[in-house]
Amino acid sequence: MAIELTMPALSPTMEKGTLAKWLVVEGDAVKAGDCIAEIETDKATMEYEAMDEGIVARLLIAEGTDEVAVGTVIALLAEPGDASSARLPEAVAPASAEAPPILAPAELKHAFAPTAPAPVADALLQPRRTPPADRIKISPLAQRIADKKGIDLALITGSGVNGRIVRADLGLAPAAMVPPAAVGAAPAAPACAPPPAGVPVETIKLSSMGRTIARRLTESKTSVPHFYLTARCNLDPLLALRAELNAALAPRGVKLSVNDMLIKALALALHHVPDANVQFGGDVLHRFARADIAMAVAIDGGLVTPVIRDAGNMSLSAIAGASRTLVQKARDGKLTPQDYDGGTASISNLGMFGIDEMVPVINPPQALILGIGAGIEQPWKVDGQLGLATVMAATGSFDHRAIKGATAAEFMSALREAVETPMLLCH
């Protein structure tokens, strides 16, 4: 009997993923723990390990297929010595050399069940589908949604394999979400304008991560009422302490970055102003008892935010070690859900690129993100006299539903104090 391998849920919120790469071919023998595929989520690319021993009988989902729903059968594993289980039932076999269709879990289970003549009454209740002669490539789930809502599929451009229409495409075309009778009345403008005619252009398909980032940032700016406060901090005391600590920690192989110290400063400010360490929950407000800081890390094709847990109670050297490990895992595409799930506030630092000031977008459901600019030497009051200091602009973006203006101002004041009195970071 064939063993079904399904698209795994690699995080609590994962609904779909991309089958980035197969690491086996049909006929390969695998045992429990062997890596058989690479699955790409909106956060990272992770290896999928086999849970059973057997022979790879059939790969049902083509390499590079995106929008594969969690629970979808992606391959069949034959039990050792069971040659009959390697044969794929006709109901699932692809009809051509094209990429095999993505079937919903319920349909796959039906495909492997004993066939029986369908009652005439059941057939009459099925929605009318497009005739085979001019059939549109569409996933079964998207077809059911289109039938239910009366969507004209001729107006939809599929983003799946070979132009296949998937569920996400239906949500991107509001002009089609109307009864068929009204479709020809007044077509709406497309959601995204095409590139200008006559200009050389290269069109690049967004990765699963890129699409998720675009969607989440759009939702954040349209649904979360942002407001912003900037505090300029004298960075010289922190830079001096960093140099001393790095000299002392060098024999242990530890090197503190400015960002490590700012993560600790952010956590201490949240501890000092707990009303800023919150999350909006509709009719309730969630106030957190510890500061889990998500740090923005740029990688090829997007941005991820691994989390340093309970940063306020960690030493600077521990933060440095955790930060370095998470950054490396992010760039290698090896982050696990435990590395990036959660976070009570975020930090995004563009100072290393020489950016004077940055105003970040909140990462929902969090209510606060801190944007860090470069330290710039400029006139400053030093020891009661006008002098030069390295000044850094720190800008907080706040969710006004959860954090009031006075609370945000108190938080920014606490942050400035932690940066300008860096010995506080050592306790």
What's the rounded Cα separation, in Å, for the pair 407 and 401?
12
Coil/strand/helix, residue 394 = strand
pLDDT tens per residue across all 427 residues of the chain: 678 888 888 766 677 888 888 999 988 888 888 888 888 876 677 778 888 888 998 999 988 888 888 889 999 888 776 644 444 444 343 433 344 444 444 444 444 444 444 443 343 334 444 433 345 677 666 776 777 667 777 777 776 656 777 766 775 444 334 344 433 444 444 468 889 999 999 998 887 778 888 888 999 999 999 999 999 999 999 999 999 999 999 999 999 999 999 999 999 999 999 999 999 999 999 999 999 999 999 988 788 999 999 999 999 999 999 999 999 998 888 888 889 888 999 999 999 999 999 999 999 999 999 999 999 999 999 888 999 999 999 999 999 999 999 999 999 999 999 999 999 999 7
136-169 as b/e: b if 16+ CB within 10 A: bbbbebbbebbeeeebbbeebebbbbeebbbbbb
Instruction: Establish whether domains 123-186 and 225-426 are of one fold.
Output: no
Under CATH, what is the fold of the domain 225-426?
Answer: Chloramphenicol Acetyltransferase (3.30.559)
Around 112, how many Cα atoms within 13 Å sit in the side-chain half-sphere?
Answer: 16
- Among 110, 226, 400, 427, the active-site one is 400
Query: Is 427 a residue of the active site?
Result: no
Coil/strand/helix, residue 10 = coil
164 in Cβ contact with 139 (< 8 Å): yes
Hey, how many other C-beta atoms are within 10 angstroms of the C-beta on 251? 7
The alpha-carbon radius of gyration of the chain (Å, integer) is 27
- 42 contact partners, CB below 8 Å, separation of at least 6: 208, 209, 211, 212, 213
Please tell me whether the overall predicted TM-score, pTM, comes out greater than 0.75 for this model.
no
Pick the CATH number of 123-186 from 3.30.390.30, 4.10.320.10, 3.30.470.20, 3.30.1330.90: 4.10.320.10
What's the rounded Cα separation, in Å, for the pair 152 and 223?
29
Q: Give the residue extent of every domain in the chain.
A: 3-112, 123-186, 225-426
Under CATH, what is the fold of the domain 3-112?
Answer: OB fold (Dihydrolipoamide Acetyltransferase, E2P) (2.40.50)
Hey, how many other C-beta atoms are within 10 angstroms of the C-beta on 249? 15
